[in-house]
Structure formats: structure tokens, C-alpha cells
Copies of this chain bind each other. A is one copy, B any other.
Amino acid sequence: MSELYRFGVSLEKDLIKRFDELIEHKNYKNRSEALRDLIREDLVKESWEHDKEVAGAITLIYDHHKRELLNTITCIQHDFQTLIMATQHIHLDHNNCLEILAIKGNARDTQNLVHKLKSIKGIKHCTLSMASTGKDI
């Protein structure tokens, strides 16, 4: 846990009034916590744009009845085993699976894995949640 640092900010009065209303609506206890979150989101966005070390989640929706699909997905995951830390599998209904891959590694490699998975016949949806390793934020 990092030491705290205190500094002054000056804003237009109208702006801070509207911001106070917004953060109350979003459940924030105080301005510092709300500003921290805005700053962190900006930093995480930049990590992904500049191909730094990141963490995140890849979310897959697929029908496990599709022939060979489970084998194909498993093979690709093993090719990317340094990137994929763990997976979680949910049986949505008789046919549909939700599988979530926890990722830590390089931003570009993660994007490549997403492209690989997305193009497989039988995978219905594939999204990437761009988070951070938590270091320095």
C-alpha cells in the first residue's frame, strides 16, 4: 500500500457542483476517491494502448455441442498458457457455456488470443475486459 500525497486542485465552481452531484449518485464517499478512479481508468487505458503488462478477462459464450469445439478451445489455451492464469466455466443452460479466462501478460499477445478465439466456428461471442496488474495504480 502506497503512502498518501496531498495536493490542491482548482476548478470552476459550476464544474465542481455538477461533479459533486454525479459522484453522490455513483455512491462515492468523497472527491478524492472519485478522482482516483478517473485517474486509474485513464492509466489503464494507456497501458493497453502502449502494449504494457496488463491483466484482464476474456469472456466466451459457446455451444459445447459443436463438434470438436472443446478440443479446439483447449488446444489454443495451451498454446497461450503463459498468458492464461486460470479459467472458470459456467453452464448457462443445456447448450450454452460461459467461460472466463483470467489473463496476465502483454497487451498485444492478449489481443491476438482474442482474435484467435473469436474466429472459431461455434464461439458465439468473445469479449475482452481490459484491466491492470494493479502495480503503481
Contact = CB atoms under 8 A, between A and B. Distances in A.
Contact of A55 (B7, B18, B41, B61): B61
A90 B102 contact: yes
Identical copies of this chain, number: 4
Interface in A55-104: 55-57, 59, 61-63, 65-66, 85-86, 88, 90, 92-93, 95-98, 100, 102, 104
Interface in A1-22: 1-19, 22
Interface residues of A, number: 79
Contacts of A134: 61-63, 92-93, 95-98, 124-125
Given A5-B10, A44-B125, A98-B134, 15 more contacts: A2-B13, A3-B12, A6-B8, A7-B9, A8-B9, A9-B35, A11-B35, A15-B136, A17-B136, A28-B119, A29-B119, A38-B39, A63-B134, A93-B135, A124-B137
